[in-house]
Structure 1
């Protein structure tokens, strides 16, 4: 496990880019050797969008070789595995046996360690909460090289602070997670086309009894069409629900995708005109779903195209996600921010709108309210625009998802996350010399 020469590394958005010394441990002993020497940040499959798992001029410990299953309690659905195991690997092995991950984000290419570090969430947050709720315990290597167990009963402060802690408290070695028992790997879904934001918010309330709920909103719509889009809701399908053609293989898993974006596309291809065309295509697809859909299309539609992030070109892109409190005032705040986006000239694309349930944790992102995640290609005007949005989100009592952020400043972060001081105290306890650091850690002042 020799440390390589400096290599350029970025998140999924290919922005920003840093040069770091990257190591690939394949055992707990390898991790211990790495932790002894220099500052570092752990990394999984690199699906955080920004600078969460890069470390300019420092070390990045890429944990994807720590990907072994350790045990499975079939009676209770509890899997113990190393932190580099991905959701895809779990699905491939346990899907045919009738088990799926309890919490699925928009991609299956995330590791268990990364899921904890970013406290990921999915379409069912209003019902199931975030990844915190399916983790029983984990083993984590601290700055002094010792490995401790963390759970709700043991080292509870470390356990809670690690969710959303961006890997800045230690290297997760292994975890025990609860899987969901399923009869099939299919979902029954329904799409509801809405004409504006008022209809969208009413539909979210009307169909709140569905476990899974997510909406696509036209980011360029203005005036009376602002907030127009398609709400998709769904439930897990039982064997008896399925039509005869799907009953033949009710626990079918996905095939490896053959579609790929082979190189970075020219940046000029993504402009106002092409985005409008693509948005019309997305609206058509979203509004024309089959009644029964496989988990691959239901949870992970973009995974069907390998390296789709290259479509934004070498300049890269950011995904901006915020959550604000609900209610009448919340609806007005959403409207105002959507108006800002539609008139920004920053080519907004690929957005997701949904309602969240109650949150937990210290630096964990979700809380009860409305959330919007939207992609922007990096341009010279983007940073100034995100600062304006940051101010509006903060004024609305909301906050930005740190697991996707690329541009938030320290003062705004601290105002958005009032428990910041509590997290810093835990950081001082377990990592007083800032062994674990990263570009986002330095940018936001996540130091002890």
Structure 2
């Protein structure tokens, strides 16, 4: 048995872990009593946990199969990470088409969560850059899935949290870039109404946008923060000191949190200090930023999740529709900031249209993600927030979730019954299961 947790480290369970290197090994190690695939463990909750059952680690399944330099189409195994892709293809002028806020995530994990990033309103989910998959089913059969071949399996796999089969290979498109830098602009905003207006204003100007709110601003200042917008920089955008190496790739993190910090180190004083530092860094961002700082700022600090202490943390991410979004967001933020909990790192963004993924998270609206160190009343607060999000017509992101219950999940995701029909079709005996799947009613 191996002790595992999600990135939030708020649940830790013992699992039987296997790490295959070949398709034959993956098939041989399927356990009918319950199996789930796991990448780099960056889902925050229990998506890649399987208490007492089998977990197939896919990080050794990390080989490239083919690359078309003319189209940027990469065929690779599902254990390849975005960090791998950046290290090997960014120096050749290629960048991930869609990326979340960390590069330490596998391609298979990106598909299972149908991840999105700072440019969802302009570029969509990860599904928008994937053309074809091969998937190992519970029967042992390996099938191909695309928009035209087994399309039902293709779309159910995006956001399906790995519960239909194990993704083996992926064909995806990369983005051609002249540099690995971004043009960016920082806008200070004084309240929530102005923040949402700024997000709306810049929606059609820059493809990348994200706001960070001051978690100590309440009352008339609620929603105060900094909005940062940007786009890929061209060679002509770079100053002379950067132009000599326009496709620079960052190395491994230089700083690390070496162990789980004591719980008392994260308190209102320390959070207030870090919050002020983050606000200042965002507000004074330079006009040109390397991708490491622009897209993956937390990746600079290895094992940053250990900073939340032995009880771990929950990142709560939700989306609510634009309609009446200001009042709904104000109510939710007021509930969070008056809860007595310790809300910490956060981001606010706009999301665009839904993808075809049956259980994909994004829908048109405002999305907010915020970290909570786990304390005595954290779960009760999140349950209150679930009710508010549901009442607003929104939903919670399974890739970040640790606490959502099955009835609330069903009410938030209208395509659940169709997904369950496909689960019965492709995995009739329920071989693929996880702690998350059992908790929210995706599996038994």
Pick the TM interval, shorter chain.
over 0.9
The alignment partner of 1:340 has SS state of: helix
The alignment partner of 1:221 has SS state of: coil
Maintained 8 Å contact 2:134/2:145: yes
Whole-angstrom CA distance in 1 between matches of 2:5 and 2:430: 22
Aligned with 2:266 (options 264, 270, 276): 270
* 2:408 paired with 1:421: no
Maintained 8 Å contact 2:31/2:431: no
Whole-angstrom CA distance in 2 between matches of 1:272 and 1:158: 47
Deviation by residue 1:279-332 (Cα, 9 ceiling, x = unmatched):
1111101101111000011100000000000000010001000000003x1111
Aligned with 1:258 (options 254, 259, 264): 254
Q: Aligned-pair distance for 1:8?
A: 1.2
Maintained 8 Å contact 2:182/2:288: yes
* 2:398 paired with 1:402: yes
Aligned with 2:287 (options 278, 287, 291): 291
* 2:327 paired with 1:332: yes
Aligned with 1:374 (options 344, 353, 370): 370
Deviation by residue 1:86-110 (Cα, 9 ceiling, x = unmatched):
0000000000000010011110000
Partner residue, 2:91: 96
Moved over 2 A (4+): none
Equivalenced residue count is 442
Whole-angstrom CA distance in 2 between matches of 1:207 and 1:15: 36
Q: Aligned-pair distance for 1:38?
A: 3.4
Aligned with 2:178 (options 162, 183, 189): 183
Q: Aligned-pair distance for 1:270?
A: 0.7
Aligned with 1:15 (options 10, 13, 16): 10
Whole-angstrom CA distance in 2 between matches of 1:330 and 1:66: 43
* 2:340 paired with 1:345: yes
Deviation by residue 1:229-264 (Cα, 9 ceiling, x = unmatched):
000000111001111111100000002212000000
Partner residue, 1:139: 134
Partner residue, 2:76: 81
Aligned with 1:70 (options 56, 65, 70): 65
Whole-angstrom CA distance in 1 between matches of 2:286 and 2:217: 26
The alignment partner of 1:240 has SS state of: helix
Report 1:91-170 matches (<5 A): 91-170=86-165
Whole-angstrom CA distance in 2 between matches of 1:206 and 1:258: 37
Partner residue, 1:433: 429
Whole-angstrom CA distance in 1 between matches of 2:374 and 2:410: 25
* 2:226 paired with 1:230: yes
Deviation by residue 1:155-183 (Cα, 9 ceiling, x = unmatched):
10000000010000000000000000000
Q: Aligned-pair distance for 1:17?
A: 1.1
Maintained 8 Å contact 1:220/1:343: no
Whole-angstrom CA distance in 1 between matches of 2:229 and 2:291: 13
Deviation by residue 1:121-158 (Cα, 9 ceiling, x = unmatched):
00000000000100001000000000000000011000
The alignment partner of 1:35 has SS state of: coil
Maintained 8 Å contact 2:16/2:53: yes
Q: Aligned-pair distance for 1:37?
A: 5.0
Report 1:281-320 matches (<5 A): 281-320=277-316
Maintained 8 Å contact 1:39/1:58: yes
The alignment partner of 2:228 has SS state of: strand
Maintained 8 Å contact 1:42/1:53: yes
Whole-angstrom CA distance in 2 between matches of 1:417 and 1:176: 28
Q: Aligned-pair distance for 1:219?
A: 2.1
Whole-angstrom CA distance in 2 between matches of 1:288 and 1:376: 26
User: Under a length normalisation based on structure 2, what TM-score does the superposition of the two structures give?
Assistant: 0.99
Whole-angstrom CA distance in 1 between matches of 2:24 and 2:3: 26
Maintained 8 Å contact 1:394/1:415: yes
Whole-angstrom CA distance in 2 between matches of 1:57 and 1:383: 24
Maintained 8 Å contact 2:31/2:54: no
Gaps of 5+ in 2: none
Whole-angstrom CA distance in 2 between matches of 1:19 and 1:139: 29
Deviation by residue 1:357-384 (Cα, 9 ceiling, x = unmatched):
0012210000110000000011110111
Maintained 8 Å contact 1:220/1:348: no
* 2:379 paired with 1:383: yes
Q: Aligned-pair distance for 1:36?
A: 5.2
Maintained 8 Å contact 2:118/2:208: yes
Maintained 8 Å contact 2:255/2:302: yes
Whole-angstrom CA distance in 1 between matches of 2:400 and 2:278: 23
Maintained 8 Å contact 1:25/1:65: yes
Whole-angstrom CA distance in 1 between matches of 2:127 and 2:423: 19
* 2:220 paired with 1:242: no
Q: Aligned-pair distance for 1:447?
A: 2.2
Deviation by residue 1:30-49 (Cα, 9 ceiling, x = unmatched):
10101255310000000000
Q: CA RMSD in A?
A: 0.8
Instruction: Classify 1:144/1:205 alpha carbon distance in 2 versus 1 (closer, same or farther; 3 Å).
Output: same
